[in-house]
């Protein structure tokens, strides 16, 4: 697809939402600055995979006698042209995205950045992007985006080699690192545990996160949660345990959120959850929920 084709698809989505705005608008339960009920449209998602495959089709050039001119397969202007087209594309779609609550998710790639001048100072579009690397599509994509996570492969959980989480889970762990985030923390990492059948598993992802941060969990091979020490946990039965006893999954989620809120939002040391063990189980369950 070319940027022009995608732009027209988004225009059609916006036009459809405009014509059906009454049915597609809901109240958020919040108030506006002038103390009126805040309303918004239901979200629509457009996924572009990938930026590298976005390119406008050029016009054929002919000589005076009508013969088709030979074209250079690769030129230095290709990247500049694509960046300019992508910039125009972003500028045109942004008002539509804001007005009609359309989220465009663009898959991009990190590529080497050629150095034309060894002594030239390199401007970093992102503080977490290496100086000799760049993102395809031009810097405007970095500046215009509201949320830029980087996904990176970590390791496999294959049954024949690595049965850390038992025979039920065959997949991999990736990490997501938030390089840009207008509504939250930046420069932080979080593990994503995937199974080939189940997909993303939030409970085990939170558990991996807590193990990496050494927070809220006691033990080495057999674990207990500081907020819920009554339950013994091992990695191989963790998924079964969370399915049979949802309070365990909720307690893991609670512990992970406590770390994230205090470390990433409040910029403070997370609370020592062992202090809550003096409370009754009923009070701790109420706290978790």
Residue with the bigger pLDDT between 158 and 284: it is 284
175 forms beta bridges with 152, 191
Per-residue pLDDT tens for 26-85? 999 999 889 999 999 999 999 999 888 887 766 667 778 878 776 655 555 666 777 788
When pLDDT is averaged across residues 268-285 and rounded to a whole number, the result is: 94
171 forms beta bridges with 157, 195
For residue 279, what are its two tokens?
A: 């409370």
Q: Is residue 231 very low, low, confident or very high in pLDDT (cuts 50, 70, 90)? A: very high
Identify the pLDDT of residue 156. Answer: 86
Residue with the bigger pLDDT between 125 and 16: it is 16
| Phi, psi (deg, nearest 5) at residue 262 | -75, -40
Q: What is the 3-state secondary structure (H, E, C) of 99-126?
A: HHCEEEEEECCEEECCCCCCCCCCCCCC
| Phi, psi (deg, nearest 5) at residue 156 | -90, 155
For the chain, report the end-to-end CA distance as a whole number of angstroms.
Answer: 46
Please tell me the pTM assigned to this model. 0.76
Identify the pLDDT of residue 114. Answer: 72
**CB neighbours of residue 10 within 10 Å:** 20
Per-residue pLDDT tens for 108-126? 988 887 766 666 666 667 7
When pLDDT is averaged across residues 151-159 and rounded to a whole number, the result is: 83
| For residue 104, pLDDT beyond 70 | yes
Identify the pLDDT of residue 241. Answer: 94
């Amino acid at each position: 697809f070319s940027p022009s084709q995608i732009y027209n698809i988004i225009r059609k989505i916006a036009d459809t939402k405009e014509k059906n705005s009454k049915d597609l608008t809901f109240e958020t339960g919040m108030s506006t600055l002038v103390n009126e009920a805040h309303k918004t449209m239901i979200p629509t998602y457009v996924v572009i995979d990938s930026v590298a495959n976005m390119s406008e089709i050029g016009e054929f050039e002919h000589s005076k006698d009508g013969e088709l001119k030979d074209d250079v397969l690769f030129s230095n202007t290709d990247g500049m042209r694509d960046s300019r087209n992508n910039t125009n594309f972003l500028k045109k779609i942004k008002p539509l995205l804001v007005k009609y609550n359309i989220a465009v998710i663009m898959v991009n790639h990190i590529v080497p950045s050629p150095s034309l001048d060894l002594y030239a100072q390199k401007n970093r579009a992102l503080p977490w992007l290496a100086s000799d690397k760049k993102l395809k599509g031009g810097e405007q994509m970095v500046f215009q985006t509201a949320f830029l996570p980087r996904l990176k492969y970590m390791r496999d959980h294959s049954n024949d080699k690595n049965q850390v989480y038992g025979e039920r889970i065959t997949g991999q762990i990736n990490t997501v690192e938030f390089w840009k985030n207008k509504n939250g923390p930046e420069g932080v990492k979080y593990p994503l545990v995937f199974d080939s059948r189940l997909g993303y598993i939030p409970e085990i992802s939170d558990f991996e996160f807590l193990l990496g941060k050494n927070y809220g969990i006691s033990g080495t091979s057999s674990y207990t949660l500081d907020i819920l020490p009554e339950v013994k946990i091992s990695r191989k039965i963790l998924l079964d345990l969370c399915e049979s006893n949802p309070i365990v999954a909720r307690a893991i989620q609670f512990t992970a959120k406590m770390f994230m809120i205090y470390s990433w939002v409040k910029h403070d040391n997370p609370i020592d959850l062992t202090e809550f063990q003096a409370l009754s189980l009923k009070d701790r369950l109420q706290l978790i929920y």
